Amino acid sequence: MKIYGNDAILSLIRTMAAQDRIPHAALIFGEKGMGRRTIARYFAMAALCKSGNAPCGTCKSCRKVMQDIHPDVIWAEHSGKKNGFSVETVRTICKDAIVAPNDGERKVYLFADCDGMDSRAQNTLLKLTEEPPPHVLLLFTAEHRNALLPTMLSRVVPLAVRPCSPEECRMALTEAHECSPADAERAVQACGGNIGNAVEWLEDTDKQELTRQVAALTEAVAKRSSYEVLRILAGFEKDRQTAAVLLRLLDRQLRDALVMQYRPDPPRMGCDQRSAQLLSGQLSLSRFRKLHTAVQEAADALQASVSVKLTLAALGGALSV
């Protein structure tokens, strides 16, 4: 099992396994697409590996975890509109956790994407998290650390996933996903070090088009071309959700443009380096504040169900100043 990037977390997991100090609960958190589930699976492998060099990746137990057929690795099933976990699911897991493992020394319960896990489900799980039987390992993944309630959070080891370097992302795309070097380069330009996003981006022409629009919009803002800004924004009037994504991506471009003034090659968040660089040359701190505030206010308005057309028209005015 080859994992690209996140060496610090992987090495910590190996050390905990080697010293027999695997905790009872951990939260792997960070942006979607950066390998949270892969790291959770690696953690499960390390906890269950039968070799002295956990996770070896070759013993029977490691292979079963990789194939998702290990009887002591249980993925909690999602349910409901918010993609959370039902109280019934959690109760069943709490009962099952008391029973000794089938195969190995531990039972690993994985709760993926916990951002939609409501407080009822978490409170039902609280006792197991506070006083787990010695063989239990609970692994949670989420976008944000505060997806878990403070009472839960105080009992788990938090592990923050980081984006890969562009080079690691290029390697992952060409080696593990069989992309051409040219495609890998385009995807890395658009998605930075988020491998999951890069793979999705290459498969999704709508996402590629959105990246082009964000780049064009950033360039228009840099050139203070009010006609061009309004023309691009007008293309999003009919779709509130896509307009919200556009604003999020634009805000990251603004952030990159500002940071580029202080560091020549900063870690990127935006989807187009060239236009961010162009904007960076024109951007005073006070203009950045104005632009950032305008984008935030527009995003809030979209969330508050204000007319998309009006919101984007107002934003267009603010972006061209």
Residue 132: DSSP 8-state: -
The residue (of 42 and 109) whose beta carbon lies closer to Zn ion is 42
The residue (of 56 and 306) whose beta carbon lies closer to Zn ion is 56
Binding of Zn ion by 48 (CB under 5 A): no
Binding of Zn ion by 108 (CB under 5 A): no
Distances (CA, A) of 218 to 43, 241, 309: 41, 19, 20
The residue (of 59 and 74) whose beta carbon lies closer to Zn ion is 59
Distances (CA, A) of 230 to 160, 243, 312: 39, 13, 8
The residue (of 3 and 190) whose beta carbon lies closer to Zn ion is 3
Binding of Zn ion by 62 (CB under 5 A): yes
Least distance from Zn ion to the Cβ atom of residue 135, Å: 18
What whole-number distance in Å separates Cα of residue 176 and Cα of residue 187? 14
Check: CB of residue 65 under 8 Å from CB of residue 44: yes
Ranges of H-type helices in 145-225: 150-153, 166-171, 181-191, 195-203, 205-222
Least distance from Zn ion to the Cβ atom of residue 63, Å: 8
Stretch that binds Zn ion, among 57-65, 114-122, 271-279, 308-316 (CB under 5 A): 57-65
Least distance from Zn ion to the Cβ atom of residue 176, Å: 21
The residue (of 58 and 154) whose beta carbon lies closer to Zn ion is 58
Binding of Zn ion by 56 (CB under 5 A): yes
Binders of Zn ion among residues 130 to 149 (CB under 5 A) are none
Stretch that binds Zn ion, among 59-67, 182-190, 272-280, 299-307 (CB under 5 A): 59-67
The structure tokens 């040359």 sit at: 281
Binding of Zn ion by 49 (CB under 5 A): yes
- Paired strand residues for 79: 84
- Options 15, 51, 83, 241; binder of Zn ion; rule CB under 5 A: 51
Least distance from Zn ion to the Cβ atom of residue 54, Å: 6
Tokens of 177: 């996903």
DSSP conformation letters of 81-92: TTTB--HHHHHH
Stretch that binds Zn ion, among 4-12, 54-62, 162-170, 220-228 (CB under 5 A): 54-62
The residue (of 47 and 247) whose beta carbon lies closer to Zn ion is 47
Binding of Zn ion by 154 (CB under 5 A): no
Binding residues for Zn ion, total number by CB under 5 A = 5
What whole-number distance in Å separates Cα of residue 179 and Cα of residue 175? 8
Binding of Zn ion by 66 (CB under 5 A): no
What whole-number distance in Å separates Cα of residue 254 and Cα of residue 96? 49
The residue (of 12 and 56) whose beta carbon lies closer to Zn ion is 56
Cα 129 from chain centroid? 24
The residue (of 48 and 121) whose beta carbon lies closer to Zn ion is 48
Stretch that binds Zn ion, among 45-53, 120-128, 179-187, 274-282 (CB under 5 A): 45-53
Q: Strands of 25-29's sheet, edge to edge?
A: 73-75, 107-111, 136-142, 25-29, 157-160
Helix H or strand E encompassing 227: helix 226-234
- Options 12, 14, 23, 59; binder of Zn ion; rule CB under 5 A: 59
- Paired strand residues for 157: 26
What whole-number distance in Å separates Cα of residue 10 and Cα of residue 35? 11
Residues making contact with Zn ion (CB under 5 A) = 49, 51, 56, 59, 62
